[in-house]
């Protein structure tokens, strides 16, 4: 708990600004985690739709989360939540889980909302951090300034990079093809 007794207005405002920045950082992390969790669930659903596959050869990039492989009549599930680059039994500590039957694929899940907020004119001390992604006037922008940025995206010298229309950005997986 912060003791505000004896603090000046400027010190309290600095604490508030720091708290707001930390909340924004944590919110972005939470949103990214939500999107990651959704992607893992979608990999697992797609793997269940595909059904069991041979354990060899190992696919380029490895077995996706939720992949079901068969080895000598036994089924194994990639329960790691990550890509695995080895077949069951090849590593001393394995993240493959023996299963009696493949899981049901289930219904597609709705992806979480995009990880960008609409741009708003920030007050002093609450400007956008380097790398911040916002939407503004139907487009998505990334702050490429090396410091805090309070300029409006799209204005001359603002140091915001246009990542494209919001619709394209969301369909292409957060703008990967625009970088």
pTM value is 0.47
Q: Which of 45, 73, 103 is the last residue of a domain?
A: 103
154 is in which domain, residue-wise?
A: 114-179
**Which of residues 80, 103, 126 is at a domain's end?**
103
Work out the angle at residue 91's Cα, subtended by the Cα atoms of residues 88 and 93, and round it to the nearest 5 degrees.
Answer: 100
Q: Residues 53, 140: one domain?
A: no
Number of domains within the chain: 2
In-domain check, residue 109: no
- Phi then psi for residue 98, to 5 deg, are -70, 135
Report, as an integer, the average pLDDT of 86-97: 81
- Mean residue pLDDT across the chain: 82
% of the chain surpassing 70 pLDDT = 89
Is 62 in the same domain as 33? yes
CA distance 154 to 139: 10
For residue 108, being part of any structural domain is answered with no
Residues 95, 119 within the same domain: no
CA distance 144 to 163: 11
pLDDT band at 92 (very low <50, low <70, confident <90, very high): low
Indicate whether 83 pLDDT > 80.
yes
Q: What is the pLDDT of residue 27?
A: 76
């Amino acid at each position: 708990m912060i003791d505000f007794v004896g603090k000046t207005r400027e010190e309290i405002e600095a604490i508030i600004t720091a708290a707001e920045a930390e909340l924004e950082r944590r919110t972005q992390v939470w949103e990214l985690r939500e999107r990651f969790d959704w992607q893992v669930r979608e990999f697992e659903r797609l793997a269940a739709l595909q059904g069991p596959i041979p354990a060899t050869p190992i696919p380029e990039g490895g077995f996706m989360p939720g992949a079901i492989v068969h080895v000598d009549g036994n089924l194994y599930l990639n329960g790691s939540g990550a890509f695995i680059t080895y077949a069951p039994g090849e590593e001393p500590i394995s993240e493959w889980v023996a299963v009696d039957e493949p899981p049901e694929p289930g219904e597609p899940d709705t992806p979480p909302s995009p990880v960008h907020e609409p741009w708003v004119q920030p007050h002093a001390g609450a400007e956008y951090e380097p790398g911040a992604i916002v939407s503004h006037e139907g487009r998505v922008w990334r702050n490429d300034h090396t410091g805090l940025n309070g300029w409006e995206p799209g204005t001359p010298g603002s140091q915001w990079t246009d990542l494209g229309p919001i619709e394209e950005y969301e369909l292409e997986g957060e703008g990967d093809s625009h970088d």
